[in-house]
Amino acid sequence: MVTFVDRVTLHLRAGKGGNGCVSVKREKFKPLAGPDGGSGGNGGDVVLVADPQVTTLLSYHHSPHRSAGNGGFGMGDHRSGAIGESIELPVPVGTLVKDADGQTLVDMIEPGMRFVVAPGGIGGLGNATLATPKRKAPGFALLGTPGWEGDVQLELKTVADVALVGFPSAGKSSLVAAISAARPKIADYPFTTLHPNLGVVQAGDIRFTVADVPGLIEGASEGKGLGLEFLRHVERCTALVHVLDCATLEPGRDPLTDLDVILAELAAYPVPEGQVPLLERPQLIALNKVDVPEGRDLAELVRPDLEARGFRVFEISTVSHDGLRQLTFALADIIAQHRAQEALKPVQERVVIRPRGAKKEFTIRVEGGSYGDIYRILGEKPVRWMHQTDFQNEEAVGYLADRLDKLGVETELYRVGAAPGATVVIGEGDGVVFDWQPSLSSVAELMTAPRGTDPRLVQNPRRTTSERRERYHEMMDAKAEARAELNAERGAVYVDEEDPE
pLDDT, residue 9, reads 92
363-369, strands of its sheet edge to edge: 363-369, 372-378, 423-426, 432-435
> Of 4, 1, 3, 5, which Cα lies nearest the Cα of 155?
5
| Fold of domain 363-446 | GMP Synthetase; Chain A, domain 3 (3.30.300)
pLDDT, residue 1, reads 39
**173 is an annotated ligand-binding site residue:** yes
Residues forming a β-bridge with 213? none
Cβ of 127: how many Cβ atoms within 10 Å? 28
Query: Could you read off the pLDDT of 32-47 as tens digits, one per residue?
Result: 778 999 999 999 999 9
Confidence of residue 225 (pLDDT cuts 50, 70, 90): very low
- Higher-scoring residue by pLDDT: 482, 491: 482
**193 is an annotated ligand-binding site residue:** yes
Q: Which of 11-25, 349-363, 414-428 has the lowest mean pLDDT?
A: 349-363
Query: Could you read off the pLDDT of 141-170 as tens digits, one per residue?
Result: 999 999 999 999 998 876 678 888 888 777
**191 is an annotated ligand-binding site residue:** yes
Confidence of residue 369 (pLDDT cuts 50, 70, 90): low
**319 is an annotated ligand-binding site residue:** yes
CA angle 462, 465, 471 (to 5 degrees): 85
Across the chain, mean pLDDT equals 80
109-113, 213-217, 269-273, 302-306: range with highest mean pLDDT? 302-306
**192 is an annotated ligand-binding site residue:** yes
24-33, 50-59, 138-147, 264-273: range with highest mean pLDDT? 138-147
**214 is an annotated ligand-binding site residue:** yes
**98 is an annotated ligand-binding site residue:** no
pLDDT, residue 456, reads 54
**396 is an annotated ligand-binding site residue:** no
The 3 state secondary structure assigned to 346-410 is: CCCCCCCCCCCCCCCCCEEEEEEECCEEEEEEECHHHHHHHHHCCCCCHHHHHHHHHHHHHHCHH
**38 is an annotated ligand-binding site residue:** no
Mean pLDDT of all residues in 318-325: 86
pLDDT, residue 321, reads 85
Assigned CATH for 1-156: 2.70.210.12
Q: Which of 115-129, 141-155, 414-428 has the lowest mean pLDDT?
A: 414-428
**127 is an annotated ligand-binding site residue:** no
pLDDT, residue 444, reads 45
**213 is an annotated ligand-binding site residue:** yes
pLDDT, residue 13, reads 95
**430 is an annotated ligand-binding site residue:** no
Phi, psi of 380 (to 5 degrees): -65, -45
**132 is an annotated ligand-binding site residue:** no
CA angle 64, 70, 73 (to 5 degrees): 170
What span, in angstroms and rounded, lies between the C-alpha atoms of 121 and 46? Answer: 11
Phi, psi of 47 (to 5 degrees): -115, 135
Residue 252 CB partners (closer than 8 Å, separation 6+): none
Mean pLDDT of all residues in 228-236: 66
Q: Over 80: is that where the pLDDT of 409 sits?
A: yes
Q: Which of 12-16, 243-247, 284-288, 447-451 has the lowest mean pLDDT?
A: 447-451
Mean pLDDT of all residues in 378-387: 90
pLDDT, residue 189, reads 36
- Greatest Cα-to-Cα distance within the chain, rounded to the nearest angstrom: 166
Q: Over 70: is that where the pLDDT of 127 sits?
A: yes
**195 is an annotated ligand-binding site residue:** yes
pLDDT, residue 73, reads 95
Confidence of residue 435 (pLDDT cuts 50, 70, 90): confident
Four-way CATH pick for 162-344: 2.40.50.140, 3.40.50.300, 1.50.10.10, 2.102.10.10:
3.40.50.300
Q: Over 80: is that where the pLDDT of 234 sits?
A: no
Q: Which amino acid is at 246?
A: C
**167 is an annotated ligand-binding site residue:** yes
Phi, psi of 326 (to 5 degrees): -65, -40
Q: Over 90: is that where the pLDDT of 75 sits?
A: yes
Query: pTM of the full predicted structure?
Result: 0.66
Phi, psi of 210 (to 5 degrees): -120, 135
**120 is an annotated ligand-binding site residue:** no
Q: Over 80: is that where the pLDDT of 341 sits?
A: yes
- Higher-scoring residue by pLDDT: 483, 440: 483
Q: Which of 37-46, 83-92, 218-227, 476-485 has the lowest mean pLDDT?
A: 218-227
220-229, 348-357, 473-482: range with highest mean pLDDT? 473-482
Cβ of 437: how many Cβ atoms within 10 Å? 12
Q: Over 50: is that where the pLDDT of 187 sits?
A: no
- Are 133 and 5 spatial neighbours (Cβ–Cβ below 8 Å)? no
Q: Which of 52-66, 140-154, 486-500 has the lowest mean pLDDT?
A: 486-500
User: How much of the chain exceeds pLDDT 70, in percent?
Assistant: 80
Residue 353 CB partners (closer than 8 Å, separation 6+): none
**136 is an annotated ligand-binding site residue:** no
**171 is an annotated ligand-binding site residue:** yes
Confidence of residue 2 (pLDDT cuts 50, 70, 90): very low
- Higher-scoring residue by pLDDT: 373, 388: 388
**215 is an annotated ligand-binding site residue:** yes
**212 is an annotated ligand-binding site residue:** yes
Q: Where are the domains of the chain?
A: 1-156, 162-344, 363-446, 463-501
